[in-house]
């Protein structure tokens, strides 16, 4: 296959965007977490970044390891205190910030919600997590109502952002629908880790599967992708000795799945990279997956499962 960058025809001018991912551990309480995040955002601004992506539920611990009614006290309205805080940072530093909050929509109605603050401090939009897991250590169905805003990109000063959240990253349909709606970039705030009891081999398989499927979304849709994960061990108070070791490894890849930057698995990091939002145009010309989709033959995708009978 010829080098996409050497193909004849008019080449679009690069549209370079410098971005940062804040991979961090839980610092013990909301105030400490916000302070750490603010410092990292300031560092990203000093590096001339135009967009910052934060990890899933960054204001506190990953509380979904257990089902406890008191954890609902962590939820807040949107707009609310955290969006006001992020808006000030976005407006001050003239950058787009993508955060992840526990939303209290109404009494008894809560969501896992990503928020996008534009470079002028305006709340540009929200995305409510659509796919909600219910697995050991990830009891999210107890806390979160599935999203009802659909797969709609959010327009910002740097472009159209296809924001999804954690468990969404395993579903190609979510990434595809964002791409079909005109997203120029896929972003995943994430909280995913190992059971420390798993063997090193199993841990490696899980992390590589996580990276591989997301790089596949980038390739299948001709879009760059950012995934920002938590890091560090967080104990499960309901199971002495139990908990989750979040594996970090936040990364940025281009529209051919090429790794542009990757954070360590065991330490906080401010991961900075440059991406060309126009490169996907050349990739899609060479690999026209959207052109060759057989939309007339995909009706069974609306079924839960196709039984043999």
Six token digits for residue 5: 């960058």
Per-residue pLDDT band for 7 (boundaries 50, 70, 90) equals low
Q: Are 300 and 306 in contact (CB under 8 A)?
A: yes
Encode pLDDT of 270-295 as tens digits. Answer: 999 999 999 999 999 999 999 999 99
Instruction: Quote the pLDDT of residue 196.
Output: 87
Encode pLDDT of 75-91 as tens digits. Answer: 999 999 999 999 999 99
Is 255's pLDDT higher than 70?
Answer: yes
Q: List all residues 6 or more positions away from 207 whose beta carbon is below 8 Å from its beta carbon.
A: 194, 247, 249, 265
* Least confident interval from 5-9, 63-67, 111-115, 139-143: 5-9
Is 10's pLDDT higher than 80?
Answer: no
Domains of the chain: residue spans and CATH: 14-302 (3.60.110.10)
Instruction: Quote the pLDDT of residue 307.
Output: 82
Considering the chain, what percentage of its residues have pLDDT values greater than 70? 96
Per-residue pLDDT band for 5 (boundaries 50, 70, 90) equals low
Arithmetic mean of pLDDT, 188-202: 94
**Angle subtended at Cα 80 by Cα 74 and Cα 85, rounded to the nearest 5 degrees:** 95
Encode pLDDT of 156-189 as tens digits. Answer: 999 999 999 999 999 999 999 999 999 999 999 9
Q: List all residues 6 or more positions away from 201 whose beta carbon is below 8 Å from its beta carbon.
A: none
Per-residue pLDDT band for 206 (boundaries 50, 70, 90) equals very high
Describe the crossing of helices 30-46 and 81-93 by its angle, rounded to 10 degrees.
20
Instruction: Quote the pLDDT of residue 224.
Output: 98
Is 309's pLDDT higher than 90?
Answer: no
Instruction: Quote the pLDDT of residue 9.
Output: 53
3-state SS track over 225-273:
EEEECCEEEEECCCCCCCEEEEECCCEEECCCCCEEEECCCCCCEEEEE
Residues labelled as active-site residues: 56, 129, 166
Is 2's pLDDT higher than 80?
Answer: no
Looking at every residue in the chain, the average pLDDT score rounds to 95
Instruction: Quote the pLDDT of residue 306.
Output: 85
Encode pLDDT of 209-230 as tens digits. Answer: 999 999 999 999 999 999 999 9
Instruction: Quote the pLDDT of residue 238.
Output: 78
């Amino acid at each position: 296959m010829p080098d996409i960058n050497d193909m004849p025809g008019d080449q679009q001018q690069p549209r370079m965007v410098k971005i940062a991912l804040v991979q961090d551990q839980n610092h013990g309480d909301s105030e400490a977490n916000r302070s750490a995040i603010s410092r990292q955002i300031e560092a990203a601004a000093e590096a001339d970044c135009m967009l910052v992506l934060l990890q899933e539920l960054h204001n506190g611990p990953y509380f979904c390891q257990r089902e406890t009614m008191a954890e609902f006290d962590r939820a807040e309205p949107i707009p609310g205190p955290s969006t006001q805080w992020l808006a000030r940072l976005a407006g001050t530093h003239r950058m787009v910030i993508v955060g992840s909050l526990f939303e209290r929509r109404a009494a008894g109605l809560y969501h896992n919600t990503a928020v996008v603050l534009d470079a002028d401090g305006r709340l540009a939009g929200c995305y409510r997590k659509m796919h909600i897991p219910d697995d050991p250590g990830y009891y999210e169905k107890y806390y979160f109502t599935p999203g009802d805003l659909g797969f709609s990109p959010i327009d910002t000063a740097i472009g159209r952002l296809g924001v999804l959240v954690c468990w969404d990253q395993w579903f190609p349909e979510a990434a595809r629908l964002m791409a079909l709606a005109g997203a120029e970039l896929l972003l995943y705030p994430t909280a995913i880790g190992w059971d420390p009891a798993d063997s090193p081999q199993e841990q490696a398989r899980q992390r590589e599967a996580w990276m591989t499927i997301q790089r596949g979304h980038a390739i299948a849709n001709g879009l760059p992708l950012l995934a920002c994960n938590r890091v560090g061990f967080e104990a499960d108070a309901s199971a002495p000795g139990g908990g989750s070791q979040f594996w970090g490894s936040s990364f940025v890849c281009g529209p051919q799945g090429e790794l542009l930057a990757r954070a360590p698995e065991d330490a906080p990091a401010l991961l900075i990279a440059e991406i060309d939002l126009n490169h996907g145009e050349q990739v899609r010309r060479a690999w026209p997956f959207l052109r060759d989709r057989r939309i007339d033959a995909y009706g069974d995708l609306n079924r839960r499962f196709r039984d043999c009978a």
